[in-house]
Amino acid sequence: MISRSSFPTPSGWWNPVGVSIMKFLVILLLTGFPVKHFAQADYWSNLVYFGGCPVNHIPKGIGIPDRNPKARAVINAIIAGYTYSELKSKLPDSLDEILGQLSHGKVISLEKERIALLFPVVTGEKRELMRSLIRKRLPEQSPVIDSLIRPLREHLRKHPRLVFHFLWSRIIDNTFWNQYNSEFHTEEGPPSIAWIIYPPHPFQCGTNYDQTTDNSQIAISWSYNIFDEFFSLPSTASFYRLTQNEPVPEGDREFFKKYGLMDTAGVSLLFTYHDGDRLDLLCDSLKQIYTRKLRGLFDYQSLSKTFDIPAAELFLIMAHEFAYTLFQQLSGTRPDFFLPILRESNPDRNLSFLCSFRLK
């Protein structure tokens, strides 16, 4: 996905360690301090996280720029290439205090006048290089996507608009753990990381996962292409009650009706299936196909030097960007493939196309 410390996460939503991945992308409006004084681009609004793994590479102070507009402007300026002297001329009184906070939080390193970011940032020429590398490998992987889509379409023939959700959230977005272990010959799983890519991929998306007490699981695909103001979800317990057509709070009823998860009679429109049923087993087999086919897609150790990003972190970034580029290709070559993460495809922001509940 991706998680922001500033994101108002719904109560109860979490990241179980292992295959569950939460991603968010949030755009905060700065008040009281104009970013344009430093840099035209607000790079920080594109910060994303990959979370839920035991090894944490996320700087402990990563939320500072969300709480402090000046710190956010400073980070944007550092990404844009401003030197310490240039920053000092803009913020003569407060720069050193801000840099001290960011340094203490392991967001930056500061040696004399040299400032370095301690989380991955891909912009400019490196952004273009990553895009080019991924596009070159895309054609040979088209059969892989076909092998995933065909059986999903067959199994979901009564629910064709859910194919994307299952392709992304129940298959691809659930493979990064095993992909990483296969790529790096480990069982520990990938690290939790935060990164910025600018400009962001137009098909960037993520998934919210959560478990119930009986180990049922909800998955919601999201994209800020359609959910730019979508900052609060009902609790998982309320979603679960919806699947059972049990009473839910009035505010949640309004949410469910607004986003197409409940009809006017109060009956659930949320798609459900069961742990271990044919659809669940199909997803498991398709995850294995995707993981196997994408092993060795890039030489991450070599590219680590090119991008100046640790190989483990670069893998996660490129694996996500590769998936987004696959969706972009589908959008351009298969007009019959429904992509509900696009506002033009899903103007009502109907969540019934983007959500499923796997019941235990």
Q: Is residue 143 part of a domain?
A: yes
* Token pair in block for residue 328: 């972009």
pLDDT at residue 233, rounded to an integer: 87
Question: Is residue 7 pLDDT above 80, yes or no?
Answer: no
Question: Residue 251: what residue type?
Answer: G
When pLDDT is cut at 50, 70 and 90, the band that residue 142 belongs to is confident
Q: Is residue 192 part of a domain?
A: yes
Q: Is residue 129 part of a domain?
A: yes
> What's the angle, vertex CA 98, arms to CA 9 and CA 78, rounded to 5?
85
Residue of 123, 124, 128, 121 whose CA lies nearest to 195: 121
Ramachandran angles phi, psi of 313, nearest 5°: -75, -40
Lateral strand order in the sheet of 355-359: 206-211, 217-222, 355-359, 271-274
Q: What is the pLDDT of residues 193-210, one digit of tens each?
A: 999 999 999 999 999 899
When pLDDT is cut at 50, 70 and 90, the band that residue 39 belongs to is low
Positive or negative torsion for Cα 174, 179, 182, 188: negative
pLDDT at residue 230, rounded to an integer: 58
pLDDT at residue 176, rounded to an integer: 94
Q: Is residue 75 part of a domain?
A: no
Q: What is the pLDDT of residues 308-356, one digit of tens each?
A: 999 999 999 999 999 999 999 999 888 889 999 999 999 999 999 999 9
When pLDDT is cut at 50, 70 and 90, the band that residue 13 belongs to is very low
The residue range of the domain holding 251 is: 124-359
pLDDT at residue 225, rounded to an integer: 82
Chain length of the chain = 360
pTM over 0.85: yes
Q: Is residue 244 part of a domain?
A: yes
Q: Is residue 115 part of a domain?
A: no
> What integer is the mean pLDDT of 275-304?
95
When pLDDT is cut at 50, 70 and 90, the band that residue 282 belongs to is very high
Q: What is the pLDDT of residues 238-276, one digit of tens each?
A: 999 999 999 999 999 999 999 999 999 999 999 999 999
Question: Is residue 33 pLDDT above 90, yes or no?
Answer: no
pLDDT at residue 232, rounded to an integer: 76
Largest CA distance in the chain: 66
Question: Is residue 3 pLDDT above 60, yes or no?
Answer: no
Cβ-based neighbour number of residue 126 at 10 Å: 16
Q: Scanning the structure block, which residue is given the tokens 């102070």?
A: 61
CA–CA distance, 108 with 103 (Å, rounded to integer) = 5
Of residues 93 and 51, more confidence is placed in: 93
Total number of domains in the chain: 1
Cis peptide before 199 (omega within 30 of 0): yes
- Cβ atoms of 134 and 318 within 8 Å: the answer is yes
Q: Is residue 313 part of a domain?
A: yes
Of residues 37 and 294, more confidence is placed in: 294
Helix or strand holding residue 194 (H, E)? strand 193-197
% of the chain beyond a pLDDT of 90: 74
Q: Is residue 320 part of a domain?
A: yes
pLDDT at residue 30, rounded to an integer: 38
When pLDDT is cut at 50, 70 and 90, the band that residue 228 belongs to is low
Ramachandran angles phi, psi of 289, nearest 5°: -60, -50
When pLDDT is cut at 50, 70 and 90, the band that residue 18 belongs to is very low
